Structure 1
C-alpha cells in the first residue's frame, strides 16, 4: 500500500514521524497535540492482496478531512457503508449458495473483509478512547462493531455450511463405495457358481437329449425362463443391503 499524507495537511511532526517510506501501513489511530489521524483500509477487492489506504484527519477544532477530498465525516461514513454493502451482498450470495464451490468462493472473498473490518473496529475504538467527547466517533465505533460481529457470524455460517456439504459428500461417496463392493461380491458369487459349470459344458460339449428339442414351444419356454432368471438375478444384485 503506497500512499502518502496530503502535502497541505498541517499535522504535528510527532504523527508524521510515525510513517515509513513505503506507505501508510496498518490501520491505526494516532493522536498528537489534539490532532487525530485515522489510517483505514478501503474495502478489499476479490483476488487482490494489495490494501489501499485512506487518511481521515480530525483537527483540534473538530473538523474532519479526508485524503481523497471532500468533507471528512461524510467520507468516513461512506467508508463504513462500503463494508456494509459488501456484507449484504455476501449474505445474499450465501443464501443462494448450494455447492461446496459456492461456499469456498464466498469464504475466499469474505476472509480479507473480516480481517479489515476487525482492524477498522479496533482503530475506531482507539480513536474513541483518544477523543471521548466526539459523539460522531461513538456512532462510527458502534457501527464498525456491528459490522465486525455480523461479518464474523456470516463467516462462521458459511464455514459450517461448507464443512457440512463436504461431510455430506464424503458420506454419499462412502455409501456408493460400499454399494459397489456389495454388488461386486454378488457378481463374484455368481461367477464362482456358474463359471466352473460353463467351463465343463464348453469342454465336454454336453448335449443331452431331453425331448424339448423337438417342440418349438420348448424353445420359447426355455427362453422365457432364461429372461426371468436374468431379471431375478439383476434385481438381486442391485437390491440394497438391509444392513446399509
Structure 2
C-alpha cells in the first residue's frame, strides 16, 4: 500500500528511514495513525511503529541518538521497553522540523500472540494502561490492518495484515457480547436514569451511582462496537446481540419523573 504524505513529512521520512533501518534489531517500521488511514490534518503527528523481536530487541541507545538528532526543540522524551505499560510498551515523543513525530515500540511476538488470541475469541482490557477507558487488545488488529509498512524485510507485518479486523466476525468473540451488554444496560438504568428514590441527591446523581453508570456505559459500548463491527460482514448470530444493537440504536429518554426532580433541584 502506498500513501501520499505531505511534502515536508515525506522529505523528513526519506531522511529518517535509513537511520532507523540501520539500527541493529529493527524488524520493521510502519506508518500508523491518521496518516496511514488517510484522515490526517496538516498538523497531524507522524506515528511510526518500530517493531522488534523479543529475543533480539533493537538498540535503545541508537534510538535515543536518532531522536536527539532529529529533535528541533530540546531533549526529546525517549523511554525504555515497557516503561509505558504492557501494551503501549514504550517509545518517543519528538518535536521536529516536520512537526511532531512519535515512535511506538512493538514486539512482533506480543502482537502476533495477541492477534492469535483474538481470533480464538480471547481479548484483554488494561485499564491501567490508558485510564479511564482502558487499552483493548483488539486495537492491535486495527493497527496492523491500517498501518503502512515502509520497512519490512522479513514480512513480519504481512501476516497480521492478512487477518485484519476479521476477528470481530468470529462467533465466539461476537456472540459472547450480547448478554453482558444486556446486563450493562440494565445496570445503567438502575444507576439513576429512572430517578428511583435515593438515586438523585441535590439535583444530580450520587457520585457512586454516576461512576457505576459511566462504567456500565463504557463496557456496553465497547462490547457493542465489536458486535456492530461484525455486522459489516454478517449479522450477529445470537438474538441477544441483535437485541442489544437495537436497544443502543434507539435509547429511551430519561423518565419525566427523574427529569422533573433534576430540574427542580438543579
TM range (shorter): 0.3 to 0.5
Whichever structure has more helix as a proportion of its residues is 1
Work out which of the two has the higher radius of gyration on C-alpha atoms and give 1 or 2.
1
Q: Larger RCO: Structure 1 or Structure 2 (Cα < 8 Å, ≥ 6 residues apart)?
A: 2
Whichever structure has more strand as a proportion of its residues is 2
What TM-score, normalized by structure 2, do the two folds share?
0.32
